[in-house]
Amino acid sequence: MVIVNYFLMCLIFGTTFLAIKIGVDAGVPPFLSAGLRFFIAGLLLFSFMVWREKTTIGLFFRKEMFFTGIGLTFGTFASLYWAEQYVTSGIAAVLSATGPMMIIVIQTFIMKQKGNWKSFIGCGVGVIGVMLLILPSFSIEISPFWMVGCFAIILGEVFYASGTIYSKHVIRKFETTSPIALNAAQMMHGGILLIFLSFFIENIQFDYLLSPASIGSLLYLTIFGSMIGHSIYYWLVSRTNPVFPSTWLYISPLIAVMLGVIFYHEYISWLTGIGTLTIIVGTVLVNFETLRKLFWGKGTVLQNIKN
């Protein structure tokens, strides 16, 4: 079940960079777009979980949900949505692939946890693979906003890594609460913060929200990207470790290239093929022990890799 959900999450998340770009290019203010996406998704999921008596309304008011929302939703996606005004979705995917590496760096150098040399090598190999994969399609004009956008995405990955590590602590603290309810609560907090940020600094023109591209982008990102994709991600964090689910960031550029070939007849170069193989090798190295236990070891994933 872990592997099935992992690949489903990769498939969903692999399309979200393009969906974000479509919405931003349609003129929707980036912070408002991100805020509406996560607040609506979180509200629907949380209401459903309360209705099914899987959680209580009081969960929303816990400080842990607020802090998780800052890391996983607000900090990560405020930077990503803003940056995609100036950075292509491909480059955004490349820079976002630093997420798993950030997790390992924080765990090793800040939390003083013992590092795994295979994970370090795998992260490096994965980032190189993503760069090789996207390199043939690079066509960028360097500008100050492009540079700031790149740094913004990397900063967002620091939030992402911190939120992922903290969410593992939250899941343990609320072990009797469904991970879906926890994810929904944090998405609402992150969405509210993004909407507040939009009201203060963005010039909101609601006409842009009514265009077909804007509506389609928002619906897709809300239902598939947030309600389904992020719920699977949170579930995987609860069942495995913070690094394993984050390796979707290595797979997403591959999916984007495949979509380009299928729908736009884009050309795949030999460099793209090498990048694809490199990504697979990097992902396997990062999760070598997890995969070994899944396929050859005994016991459950949670028993074997829980730390």
pTM, rounded to two decimals? 0.83
Q: Tens digit of pLDDT for each residue in 165-212? A: 999 899 999 999 999 999 999 999 999 999 999 999 998 777 778 889
**Does 218 or 282 have the greater pLDDT score?**
218
With beta carbons less than 8 A apart as the criterion, state whether 3 and 302 touch. no
Q: Tens digit of pLDDT for each residue in 120-168? A: 888 888 888 888 877 766 655 567 888 889 899 999 999 999 999 999 8
Instruction: Examine the pLDDT at 73 and tell me if it is beyond 90.
Output: yes
Q: Where are the domains of the chain?
A: 2-301
Mean pLDDT over the full length of the chain = 85
Instruction: Examine the pLDDT at 43 and tell me if it is beyond 70.
Output: yes
The proportion of the chain whose per-residue pLDDT surpasses 70, expressed as a percent, equals 89
